[in-house]
Amino acid sequence: MTGERHTARCLCGNITLEAIGPAQYTEYCHCKWCQKSSGSAFMLWAVFDKDNVRVISGELSYFQSSEKLKRGFCKNCGSSMSIHFDGNFDITLGVMDNPEPFRISRHIWNKSRIRQVCIIDELPRFEEGGA
């Protein structure tokens, strides 16, 4: 599994990220910040250790969305690509070249979920951020 390699690209193609190894986990986030940042109902995050991710082309721009957390995006096309906090570098599944290997394990911020969006699964749902 250590040879697993994932690439992610923004809409205009200027920025490419490379992540090595399986994600620690992958989750739905229904928080208000992800909704505003993406313009959509939720975001899907693959969580990697920051040491396993590199920007291999282009340059991320950052928005500090809370004291501890910044969001990476492409300033040319506006794609939301990443979240950075503690030792993590999370990449959104929407920009992954191949999102298929990622098994989603949970929902967080269920309390701000957009109710009209119907997701039927047996995954654990946390009302706020998961532990």
Question: Which pair of structure tokens corresponds to residue 28?
Answer: 């739905």
CB of 51 to Zn ion, least distance (A): 23
DSSP secondary structure code for residue 37 in this structure: H
Q: Residue 35's Cα: distance from chain center in Å? A: 12
13: CB partners within 8 A, 6+ apart: none
23 lies in the site for Zn ion, by CB under 5 A: no
CA distance 71 to 97: 20
Task: Kindly indicate which of the ranges 5-13, 16-24, 59-67, 94-102 contains the residues binding Zn ion, using the contact rule CB under 5 A.
Answer: 5-13
Contact 109, 31 (CB under 8 A): yes
Asked if 91 touches Zn ion (CB under 5 A), the answer is no
Binding region for Zn ion (CB under 5 A) out of 22-30, 49-57, 92-100, 116-124 = 22-30
Query: Around Cβ 106, how many Cβ atoms within 10 Å?
Result: 16
Min. distance of Cβ 46 from Zn ion in angstroms?
A: 13
Residues in region 27-46 near Zn ion by CB under 5 A: 29, 31, 34
Q: Which is nearer to Zn ion, 14 or 110 (CB)?
A: 14
Residue 77 sits in the site that holds Zn ion (CB under 5 A):
yes
Site residues (vs Zn ion, CB under 5 A): 10, 12, 14, 29, 31, 34, 74, 76-77
